[in-house]
Amino acid sequence: MLERFCRSHDCATLTRPQTALPTLPGAAPINPSWAFTADGPACSHAGLHLVFQPGDNPGSLRRFCTALFQEAARILQGMQEQQQHGVHINWQQLALTPQPGGRQHTLTLNAVGDTLSVDLPQIARTPELLPALQPWLAARLAGRNYSLSLQAAVYDWHAPPE
104-155: pLDDT as tens digits: 999 999 999 999 999 999 999 998 999 999 999 999 999 999 999 999 999 9
Largest CA distance in the chain: 55
Is the model's pLDDT at 3 over the cut of 50?
A: yes
Contacts 24+ apart (CB under 8 A), 69-73: 69/30, 69/32, 69/43, 69/45, 70/21, 70/23, 70/24, 70/30, 71/118, 71/119, 71/120, 71/121, 71/122, 71/123, 72/46, 72/48, 72/123, 72/133, 72/136, 72/137, 73/24, 73/27, 73/30, 73/46
**pLDDT number for residue 126:** 92
Q: Pick the residue with more confidence: 19 or 139? A: 139
SS3 98: strand
What are the domain boundaries of the chain? 2-14+28-88+127-155
Instruction: Calculate what percentage of the chain has a pLDDT beyond 70.
Output: 80
Q: Using 50, 70 and 90 to split pLDDT, how confident is the model at 28?
A: low
CA 92 to chain centre: 20
Q: What H or E segment, with its residue span, contains residue 68?
A: helix 58-84
Contact, 127 vs 134, CB < 8 A? Answer: no
SS3 40: strand
Is the model's pLDDT at 66 over the cut of 90?
A: yes
Q: Using 50, 70 and 90 to split pLDDT, how confident is the model at 29?
A: confident
Q: What is the mean pLDDT of residues 76-96?
A: 96
